[in-house]
Amino acid sequence: MEDRIIKFEGVSKKFCKDLKRSMYYGVKDIAKNIFGIQANTEILRYDEFWALDDVSFEVEKGETLGIIGPNGAGKTTILKLIAGILYPDKGRVEVDGKVGSLIEIGAGFHPNLTGRENIYVNGAILGMSKKEIDRKINDIIEFADIGDFINSPVKYYSAGMYVRLGFSIAVHSEPDILLVDEVLAVGDEEFQRRCAAPKIRELLNKGITIVFVSHNLGLIQTICKKTMWVEEGIVKKMGSSGDIISQYLLSFEKFPDTAIISHYGPIPISKDAEIIDYGILDSKGEQINIVPIGEETVIFIKVKVNKKLEYPHFGLTIKNENREVIYHTNTSWQNVKTGVFKEGKVVNVGFKQKIILGEGNYTVSFAVSYCDGISFCDWKDEILNFKVISRKKIEGILDLNSEIILREN
Amino acid sequence: MKKVLIPEGLVREGIFKSFKEMVEELASSRELIIRLFIRDFLARYKQSFLGIGWIIIMPVIIIGTFIFMNKSGVLNIGETSIPYPAFALLGLTIYQLFSTGLTATTNSLVNAGSMVVKINFPKESLIISSIAHSIFDFIVRIVLVILVFLFYKIVPSYRAILFPFLLIPLIFLTVGLGFILSLLNCIVRDTTNVVSLLTSFLLFLTPVLYSEPKGMLKNFTRYNIISPLINAPREIVINGYISKSNEYIVATIISFFIFLFCWRFFHLVEPKIAERV
């Protein structure tokens, strides 16, 4: 079996800016087709433009492709072509499998019907049989997490509930290809993190293919291995997500600088906040750079905020002499809500821990990211050095400080 | 189940091959049709007091008006073999199968709204579920007709069991026209108004509420294929025979061809229209 599940070959799609003219062109083309004349779709008529121009790419089975780009770049058009809603004007689209689309969540929901009734309708639209829905309805309701509201008309739902229900139905319809268009952005962050992302990972483990359009670059980076950057109807770049996303961010004026990260490459930084000071304090609060094993330390950074920041994240990475990452943590992973910081403020962030590392030289890197966790204000790579010493003999990369128990039988 | 989309891909299919595909696609979407039917049914009556009562109120008012006009001598209804209210109500009920069906199918694509542009599913199911509504309304109205027949103690011919089968051509004609009109409605919204204008006009130009006309209208009726499609089922109930069976057969054949042509047309053209909605 071929592993290619989606294939675009020189695909172009045009749209018309004017509604009436668009209809007129449509009727004209149809009339030509009926009389067996090939409508010339390859040229632009007045008011028409290429929404997609000569787009080629392939997606393999089980892959996740992220699509990023500014508004109006043609991202949704690509999804609609995959879904079979649109036909290309040039080129060829091959899709091998059942497509589940989340292009607009809750499309087909009837506002007056209850959540439960809408599950049946929407499920049927997505190609589920009644039996299948009967079997899955409890899972769908549970995953959507809307409680008693399931028996209320969906017009009384909050935007988040609406999205959760729609998402839940779509993922339970077991498609081969799942198209996700920016919908998760509507759902609250909690739902994204707790439910959507794990569910998507679970689907990925089952071998489903996902095409994901989002402005949430953090989500793209966590979910997608490959990312395609689309702009003005053409594919600008395609490659590994980290690479493409940082290049994409660099294209904005907002990120004038780059930090070169040793294990990663260049990362665009905005300097909306800057790390102005850093260091290691021992248990007495004295700054040190030789740390005895077992010492209670605080590794701190001082961050100057140059532009108002909402819920940024602070993180540190400790690497050993071989530049291997020994430890990384950040405020996001530790569920620390950081707060809103006004321009000109200086934020002190301390990471308090007992050093149980083995003897040797270490470096610390610091980063300040926006609340998305993926675009950065500042990143200081391997900026702080410290040495760990031991008062007794140990070997290995850690000192677990074992308690040794002896007993005679 | 590999799908290949190329420009004009649909147009290049063979006629017979694609008819087979169309039938298969329709068969596979029967659950969807049922769901859409239930959805619209529930949505229609959820916020309504009289509920399905509305289905009956319309014909009662129209026929009441005709009886009133006839009694006042404004309108000459002509000779009918059974009491006029029963005659007219049966005719009107059949006519409304056509007129409400046409209105519902015409609006079906536009009413589906963003669903059409955002989800890929056989759009025929929207048309079919709309006509199913008209058939449901029809069945409710037939109950009213039966009550009126009982009231006047009219005993229909035993051939009345053929009645449902004689309606089939009318339904096919309605769906066929609905296919075209629903697409047209996507392009110009005036279609809705034209259809409602046309169906109320046709009601007066077709011998539904009156018997066989004379003069100019008679010539028009001869070419009006709706007329035999309505009168044949009515005659089979009242008289047990069809007086103009030739006309009925011709109208039936025309209806089937219109249906097949329009379905095919819909199938070819719908993706092109849907993207422009």
User: What does DSSP say about strands A99-102 and A257-261: parallel, antiparallel, or unpaired?
Assistant: unpaired
pLDDT for res A186: 56
Where exactly are the structural domains of chain B? 23-276
- Average pLDDT (B33-56) is 83
CA distance A78 to A213: 10
Contacts of A124 in chain B (CB under 8 A): 31-32, 34-36
For A277, list phi and psi in degrees, rounded to 5. Answer: -155, 155
- Average pLDDT (B139-157) is 89
**Which residue's entry shows tokens 């108002």?**
A308
The answer for A 153-192 residues in CB contact with B (under 8 A) is: 153
CA distance B210 to chain A (A): 40
pLDDT in tens, B46-68: 777 887 888 888 888 888 887 88
Say whether A88 and B2 touch across the interface (CB within 8 A).
no
Contacts of B4 in chain A (CB under 8 A): 92-94
Say whether A85 and B120 touch across the interface (CB within 8 A).
yes
**Whether pLDDT at A1 is above 50:** no
B35 to chain A: nearest residue by CA?
Answer: A121
The answer for A 218-257 residues in CB contact with B (under 8 A) is: none
CA distance B1 to A408: 71
**Whether pLDDT at A15 is above 70:** yes
Say whether A92 and B6 touch across the interface (CB within 8 A).
yes
Q: Tally A–B CB contacts below 8 A.
A: 127
B264 to chain A: nearest residue by CA?
Answer: A34
pLDDT in tens, A380-396: 888 899 999 988 888 88
Lowest mean pLDDT among B17-26, B134-143, B173-182: B17-26
pLDDT for res B95: 94
Lowest mean pLDDT among A42-46, A223-227, B187-191: A42-46
Q: What is the DSSP letter of B98?
A: H
For A227, list phi and psi in degrees, rounded to 5. Answer: -135, 145
**Which residue out of A28, A113, A151 would a mutagenesis test of the B interface target, given it has the greatest number of B Cβ atoms within 10 Å?**
A113
pLDDT for res A193: 66
- Average pLDDT (A99-126) is 83
Contacts of A29 in chain B (CB under 8 A): 272
pLDDT for res A135: 92
In this prediction, what percent of chain A has a pLDDT beyond 90?
Answer: 23
Of A107, A124, A129, Cβ closest to residue B114: A107
A126 touches chain B (CB under 8 A): yes
CB B82 within 8 A of CB B238: yes
Say whether B2 and A96 touch across the interface (CB within 8 A).
yes
Contacts of B39 in chain A (CB under 8 A): 110, 113, 117, 121
Say whether B1 and A130 touch across the interface (CB within 8 A).
no
- Average pLDDT (A367-387) is 87
- Average pLDDT (B116-128) is 86
Report which secondary-structure segment, H or E, holds B3.
strand B2-5
The Cβ of residue A360 has, within 10 Å, a number of other Cβ atoms equal to: 15
Locate A374 and state its tokens. 């993926």
Say whether A124 and B268 touch across the interface (CB within 8 A).
no
Say whether B120 and A84 touch across the interface (CB within 8 A).
yes
A90 touches chain B (CB under 8 A): yes
pLDDT for res B250: 94
The answer for A 47-76 residues in CB contact with B (under 8 A) is: none
The interface pTM score, or ipTM, of the predicted complex is 0.76
Say whether A117 and B119 touch across the interface (CB within 8 A).
no
**Which residue out of B12, B31, B125 would a mutagenesis test of the A interface target, given it has the greatest number of A Cβ atoms within 10 Å?**
B31
**Which residue out of B1, B13, B39, B261 would a mutagenesis test of the A interface target, given it has the greatest number of A Cβ atoms within 10 Å?**
B39
A124 touches chain B (CB under 8 A): yes
- Average pLDDT (A293-306) is 92
For chain A, give the secondary structure using H, E and C. Answer: CCCEEEEEEEEEEEEECCHHHHHHHHHHHHHHHHCCCCCCCCCCCCCEEEEEEEEEEEEECCCEEEEECCCCCCHHHHHHHHHCCCCCCEEEEEEECCEEEECCCCCCCCCCCEHHHHHHHHHHHCCCCHHHHHHHHHHHHHHHCCHHHHHCEHHHCCHHHHHHHHHHHHHHCCCCEEEEECHHHCCCHHHHHHHHHHHHHHHHHCCCEEEEECCCHHHHHHHCCEEEEEECCEEEEEEEHHHHHHHHHHCCCCCCEEEEECCCEEEEECCCEEEEEEEEECCCCCEECEEECCCEEEEEEEEEECCCEECCEEEEEEECCCCCEEEEEECCCCCCCCCEECCCCEEEEEEEEECCECCEEEEEEEEEECCCCCCEEEEEEEEEEEEEECCCCCCCCECCCCCCCCCCC
- Average pLDDT (B74-102) is 85
A123 to chain B: nearest residue by CA?
Answer: B32
**Whether pLDDT at A111 is above 80:** yes
CA distance A390 to B217: 112
For B64, list phi and psi in degrees, rounded to 5. Answer: -55, -45
Of B43, B119, B273, Cβ closest to residue A112: B43
Show Cβ contacts of residue B256 under 8 Å, excluding neighbours closer than 6 positions.
Answer: B169, B172
Name which residue leads in pLDDT, A104 or A356: A356
Say whether A91 and B32 touch across the interface (CB within 8 A).
no
Which of left, alpha, beta for B135 (phi over 0: left; psi -120 to 50: alpha)? alpha
For A211, list phi and psi in degrees, rounded to 5. Answer: -115, 125
Mean pLDDT of chain A: 85
- Average pLDDT (A249-268) is 71
Say whether A92 and B117 touch across the interface (CB within 8 A).
no
Collapse the DSSP code of B154 into the 3-class scheme (helix H, G, I; strand E, B; otherwise coil) and give the result.
Answer: coil
Contacts of A126 in chain B (CB under 8 A): 119
CA distance A64 to A315: 27
Contacts of B117 in chain A (CB under 8 A): 85
Say whether A84 and B265 touch across the interface (CB within 8 A).
no
Contacts of B32 in chain A (CB under 8 A): 124-125, 127
Contact residues of B toward A, CB < 8 A: 1-11, 31-32, 34-36, 38-39, 42-43, 46-47, 112, 114-115, 117-121, 187-188, 265, 268-269, 271-276
Contacts of A125 in chain B (CB under 8 A): 32, 35, 115, 119, 121
For residue B229, which of B188, B186, B259 has the smallest C-alpha distance? B259
- Average pLDDT (B2-19) is 63
Mean pLDDT of chain B: 85
pLDDT in tens, B212-255: 777 777 777 778 889 999 999 999 998 888 888 888 999 999 99
